[in-house]
Structure 1
C-alpha cells in the first residue's frame, strides 16, 4: 500500500530512528516497502538499512526506483523524522479516499524557534510528503532529488504530527 523513500548521507543514527518508527506501519500492513537512497555514506547506513529489510541503493535512476516501488502511494521523509501516534490509521484512510499529496503537521513539542519560522521557509521535506506513485513518476526527471518533488507542490495537511529530522541532528 505504501512505499517509504528516504535519501541519506552519513546519517546512520537518524536513519535508524526513522526506520524504528516505520516498523509499526509494516506490522499493521500499511508499509510494504522501504527504499533508502544513499549519497556516498561512509558510516553504517547500509548496515542499518539491510538489518531493517530495506532496499538500499548507492547508485540509482529515480524513475526506476519509483517504478519499482511496491506501494501505490509513496512517503518521502528525511532520516531522523519520526511520525507520531495515529499516523498509520490516518495515512491508510487518506490514501483510500484522496488523490492529492499531503504532509504531516509539525510536532507541537518540537517547533523551530520563532525567528527561524518567520525568516525562512521550511526545508521541502521537513514535514514529509505523501504522494501517489503515478504523480511521482509523472514528475520525475533524471538526477532529481526527493526534495524537488515537494517544491511548489500544493498538499493537504494531515492531522498526524511528525517530529522533524533536525531534532535528531540536534541531539547528536
Structure 2
C-alpha cells in the first residue's frame, strides 16, 4: 500500500531511528517497502538499510527511488524523523478517504517556539510527506529531491504526530 522513501547521506544512526518507527506499520501491512536513496554515504548507512530489508539506491535520484517503489502511495521522510504512535491509522484513513497529499502534525513537545516558527528557515520535509505515487511522478523533475517536491505543495494535516529529524 505505502512505500517509504528516505534520502540519506552519512545518516546511519538517524536512519536506524526512523526505520524503527516503521516496523509496526510493516507488520500491519501498511508499509509495503522502504527505499533508501543514498547520496554517497561513507558510513554504515548501507548496512543499516540492508539489515532492515530496505532497497538501497547508491548515488540514485529521488525519481529513481519513486520508480523503484512498489506502493501506490509514498511516504517521504528525513532520516532521524520519528513518527509517533497512531500514525499508521491516520495515514490509512487519509489514503482511503482523501486523494491528496498530506503532512504529519508536529509533536507538541517538539514544536518550535513561536519566533522560531515565524523567523526560522522552514524545511519542507520536516513534517514528512504522504502522497500518491502517480502525483509524485507527475510533479517530480529530474535532479530534484524530496525537499523540492514538498516545497509549495498544498497538503492536509494529519492528526498523527512526527518528531522532525532536527529535534529527534
**TMscore range, shorter length:** over 0.9
CA distance in 1, matches of 2:144, 2:46: 21
CA distance in 1, matches of 2:167, 2:74: 23
Aligned partner of 1:51 in structure 2 is 51
In the alignment, structure 1 segments of 5+ residues that lack a partner are none
Shift of 1:113: 3.3
CA distance in 1, matches of 2:154, 2:50: 34
CA distance in 2, matches of 1:82, 1:4: 13
CA deviation vs aligned residue, 1:72-130 (integer Å, no higher than 9, x gap) = 00001100111111111111111011111000000001122332211034201000000
Kept after mapping to 2: 8 A contact 1:62/1:141: no
TM-score by length of 1: 0.93
* 4+ aligned runs moved over 6 Å, structure 1: none
Are 1:128 and 2:125 an aligned pair? no
Aligned partner of 1:150 in structure 2 is 150
CA distance in 1, matches of 2:62, 2:78: 16
Q: Note the 1:8-157 alignment, pairs <5 A.
A: 8-157=8-157
Kept after mapping to 2: 8 A contact 1:73/1:130: yes
Find the residue that maps to 2:33 and give its secondary structure: strand
Q: CA RMSD in A?
A: 1.1
Aligned length: 168
